[in-house]
């Protein structure tokens, strides 16, 4: 099943689960609309041919939903009863923090295996260097920034680009460096608006007529609109561009297809080995299994050296 926000590469993970399951002689079922479909008994056969020609597609053929009903004990019991009645031995959950938090709660009332593949563009799950969809989102945003630069340079303006990342700044940091931003504002570091104003004024004195700022939506100072308002009060000509859900769509990159395939297959192997309550990931090129509790609740650190690099490049 896929759950929570959709990410490019989810279909590649679904394909891997279905085909590796078939390779081992297992019956694989697809659950529509995540936990809500588990509650509503929306199960269907998922054979190797039913996942043909989907690896290149964004979104998810199983669809997804955020289920308020599953947040209740009664809803979780309905889901558990359906799994038991259908004779399900294990579930592969493709999603992020909310998905794995739901799995932790489901495990309290259902005895089957529960393993996860890291599907979120935010790249904020502990236990994997990268998550499914992150690379595609970064490439999508970088392409958008390249186009915005044409207008920014033509009008000699400041553009503030808001990207996704409620609790983590991985996207903002990657696209900020890749897009040549002068400032990168993320939740992991304090935002000092007076210092930003001073640096932009210095840039203008040095002859830099346009400036690019990338801000994660979860930055403590606020999103792009708040930053633009603060800058314009200082006499600048700033514009906001909020990319929003554009970042979650599109064909997955080769890197995301590979990661999704690798972790999807690892989920099946983990279930066969009797593992449960873990997320499959890749750390330093090595396949890993991380307890859901760690994947969700341990803070994945932003690389300090990359932050320092961004500051040095903005000279």
Q: Token pair of 16, please?
A: 């891997």
Under 8 Å CB-to-CB from 201, ≥6 apart: which residues?
A: none
CB atoms within 10 A of CB 220: 12
Whole-angstrom distance, CA of residue 160 vs CA of residue 154: 16
- Radius of gyration over every alpha carbon of the chain, rounded to an integer in angstroms: 21
Domains of the chain: 10-133+252-297 (3.40.50.450), 135-248 (3.40.50.460)
Tell me which DSSP letter residue 68 carries: S
Please state whether 51 falls in left (phi above 0), alpha (psi between -120 and 50) or beta. alpha
How much is the pLDDT for 206? Answer: 85
The number of angstroms, rounded, from the C-alpha of 115 to the middle of its chain's C-alpha atoms is 18
Of 40, 89, 122, 237, which is the active-site residue? Answer: 122
Mean pLDDT by 10 residues, the chain (315 residues): 94 98 97 96 95 96 93 97 97 96 97 97 96 97 92 84 93 94 92 90 83 92 90 91 91 98 98 98 97 96 86 76
Map residue 196 onto helix, strand or coil. helix
How much is the pLDDT for 71? Answer: 94
How much is the pLDDT for 106? Answer: 98
Q: Tokens 């990410």 appear where?
A: 7
How much is the pLDDT for 6? Answer: 93
Cα distance between the two ends of the chain? 46
Whole-angstrom distance, CA of residue 121 vs CA of residue 116: 15
122 is known as an active-site residue: yes
Can you state the angle between helices 224-232 and 193-205, rounded to 10 degrees? Answer: 60
How much is the pLDDT for 93? Answer: 98
How much is the pLDDT for 209? Answer: 75
C-alpha to C-alpha distances, 52 to 15, 34, 47, 169, 203, nearest whole angstrom: 8, 21, 9, 35, 52
CB 299 within 8 A of CB 288: no
Whole-angstrom distance, CA of residue 197 vs CA of residue 185: 13
Whole-angstrom distance, CA of residue 12 vs CA of residue 86: 25
């Amino acid at each position: 099943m896929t759950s929570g926000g959709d990410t490019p590469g989810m279909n590649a993970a679904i394909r891997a689960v279905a085909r590796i399951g078939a390779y081992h002689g297992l019956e694989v079922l697809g659950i529509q609309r995540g936990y809500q479909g588990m509650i509503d008994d929306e199960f269907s056969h998922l054979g190797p041919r039913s996942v043909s020609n989907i690896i290149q597609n964004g979104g998810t053929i199983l669809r997804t939903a955020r289920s308020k009903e599953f947040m209740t004990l009664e809803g979780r019991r309905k889901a558990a009863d359906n799994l038991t009645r259908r004779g399900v031995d294990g579930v592969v959950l493709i999603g992020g923090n909310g998905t794995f938090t739901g799995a932790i709660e489901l495990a309290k009332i259902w005895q089957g295996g529960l393993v996860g593949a890291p599907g979120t563009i935010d790249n904020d799950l502990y236990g994997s260097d990268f998550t499914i969809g992150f690379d595609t989102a970064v490439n999508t945003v970088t392409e958008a920034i390249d186009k915005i630069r044409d207008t920014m340079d033509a009008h000699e303006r400041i553009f503030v680009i808001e990207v996704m990342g409620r609790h983590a700044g991985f996207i903002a940091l990657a696209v900020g460096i890749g897009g040549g931003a002068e400032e990168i504002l993320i939740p992991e570091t304090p935002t000092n608006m007076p210092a930003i104003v001073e640096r932009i004024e210095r840039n203008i004195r040095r002859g830099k007529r346009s400036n690019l700022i990338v801000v994660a939506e979860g930055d403590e100072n606020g999103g792009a609109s708040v930053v633009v308002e603060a800058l314009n009060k200082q006499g600048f000509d700033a514009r906001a561009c909020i990319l929003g859900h554009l970042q979650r769509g599109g064909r997955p990159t080769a890197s995301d297809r590979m990661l999704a395939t690798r972790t999807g297959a690892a989920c099946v192997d983990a279930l066969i080995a009797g593992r449960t309550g873990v997320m499959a990931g890749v750390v330093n090129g090595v396949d890993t299994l991380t307890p859901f509790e760690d994947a969700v609740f341990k803070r994945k650190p932003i690389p300090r050296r990359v932050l320092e690099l961004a500051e040095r490049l903005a000279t």
